[in-house]
Amino acid sequence: MVVGSVALDSVFTPFGETADALGGSAVHFSVAGSLLSKVKVVGVIGSDYPVKELERLASRGIDWSGVERVDGESFRWKGKYSYDLQSRETLETRLGVFATFRPKLPESWRDTPYLFLGNIDPELQLSVLEQVRRPKLVVCDTMNYWIQGKRPELMKLLERVDVLLVNDGEARELSGNWNIHKAGRWILERGPKLVVIKQGEYGALLMDPSRTFYVPAYPLEEVFDPTGAGDAFAGGFMGYLARVDSVAPEQMRRAMVYGSAMGSFAVEGFDIRGFDGVDFDAVQRRVKAFVDLTHVPAAEPLP
C-alpha cells in the first residue's frame, strides 16, 4: 500500500517535454511496484483527472479504490531540468484538491503489512500510519520542503518508521552533515532501523548501524526524464519485499537491486513511459545485469 500524490506533471528536459502527464509519487511507485506485487493506492484526484488512464493501469494489479475523487483541480507540478539532468527547478506547484486531503483508509486496508508513505506532508503520513494495524514494514520518503517547513512532525514520524528513503541532498539537509555516511548515521539515531540514500546517477546506499550496502546506477547512455525515479525505486524495493514477504537483511539487499532496476527503467522514458513493454521477465533480466555490474570474481589466495 502506498499513500502519495496522484498528479499531473509538466516536465521540461533537454530531450523533450510533457504536459499534464500522469505523475505523482503514488503513480510512479505503483507502476513499478505492480511488476512485483499487488499495489493499493491511497490518494486524491480532482474532477479533471484522466480517470481512464488510471483504469488502464488497474489491469496491472493496481487497486485505485483508495483514491478519492473530489470536485476541484488535481495536483499539478511543473518542473524544468538542467542540461545535464543534475538539477531541476520547480516552475509551478498547484496543490488543488490535495490542499484539503485527509487520507482515510478503507477498513479492509488497515491490515496492510507493507506500507510506503510517499512524499507528502508528514502530518498526513502520520495519520495514515495511525490507521494501519501492526504493519511488518513502514518505509517513508520526504523532501526539502517538509524538512524545512515541518521538521518537528517529520522527526516524530521518523521515530515510527522502519526505513527512511531519501536522496543525498535530503539526507544532508535533514542531518546537517555534508558527509553522506555521517548523515546516514544521524538518521539511524533518530528512529529508522535502516536508511536508503539515493544518489541519482551514482546509485544508492542502504545503511544499518553496522553495515553499508551499495548498488550503482545502471550504465545508461541515454537518460530522458529523472522524474519519478525515486518513487519507482521505492516501488521496486517494497514490491520485492512484499512479494517475498520478508524483511530479512539479505532480502533488503536484494530489494535494493530491484529498486535500482525500477529506477533505471523509469528514467528511460517520460512520465511512466519508461515502463512501456517492461514485464516481469524484463525486470528479472535487469536485476541480473545489476548483480553482474558489481560481481567480484572469487580468487585464489594471493601468491
Q: Shortest approach of a second copy to residue 303 CB, angstroms?
A: 6
Interface pick for a second copy out of 214, 247, 269, 282 (rule CB under 8 A): 214
Torsion-angle region of 259 (φ positive above 0: left; ψ -120 to 50: alpha; else: beta): alpha
Which CB sits closer to a second copy, 52 or 295?
A: 295
Residue 117 lies near a second copy (rule: CB under 8 A): no
Q: In this structure, what C-alpha cell is assigned to residue 18?
A: 510533457
Please work out the total of residues on this chain that contact a second copy, with binding judged by CB under 8 A.
43
Which CB sits closer to a second copy, 146 or 218?
A: 218
Quote the CA–CA distance of 218 and 265 in Å, as a whole number: 9
Interface pick for a second copy out of 93, 127, 144, 199 (rule CB under 8 A): 199
Which CB sits closer to a second copy, 2 or 223?
A: 223
Q: Shortest approach of a second copy to residue 125 CB, angstroms?
A: 28
Which residues, 6 or more positions from 136, have their beta carbon under 8 angstroms from its beta carbon? 113, 114, 245, 247
Torsion-angle region of 19 (φ positive above 0: left; ψ -120 to 50: alpha; else: beta): beta
Helical segments of the chain, H only: 25-33, 51-58, 122-131, 144-149, 151-158, 168-175, 180-188, 229-244, 249-266, 280-293
Sketch the per residue contact string, 246 through 285, with a second copy: x for CB under 8 A, - otherwise.
Answer: ----xx-xx--x--------------------------x-
User: How far does the chain reach from its first CA to its final CA, in angstroms?
Assistant: 53
Residue 239 lies near a second copy (rule: CB under 8 A): no
Which CB sits closer to a second copy, 205 or 278?
A: 205
Residue 179 lies near a second copy (rule: CB under 8 A): yes
Which of 199, 169, 203, 164 has its CA nearest to residue 185?
Answer: 164
Residue 215 lies near a second copy (rule: CB under 8 A): yes
Alpha-carbon dihedral sign for residues 101, 104, 109, 111: positive
Contacting range for a second copy; rule: CB under 8 A; set: 62-70, 108-116, 219-227, 229-237: 219-227
Residue ranges that bind a second copy, judged by CB under 8 A: 36, 84, 178-182, 185, 199, 201-203, 205, 211-216, 219-223, 243-244, 250-251, 253-254, 257, 284, 290-297, 299, 302-303
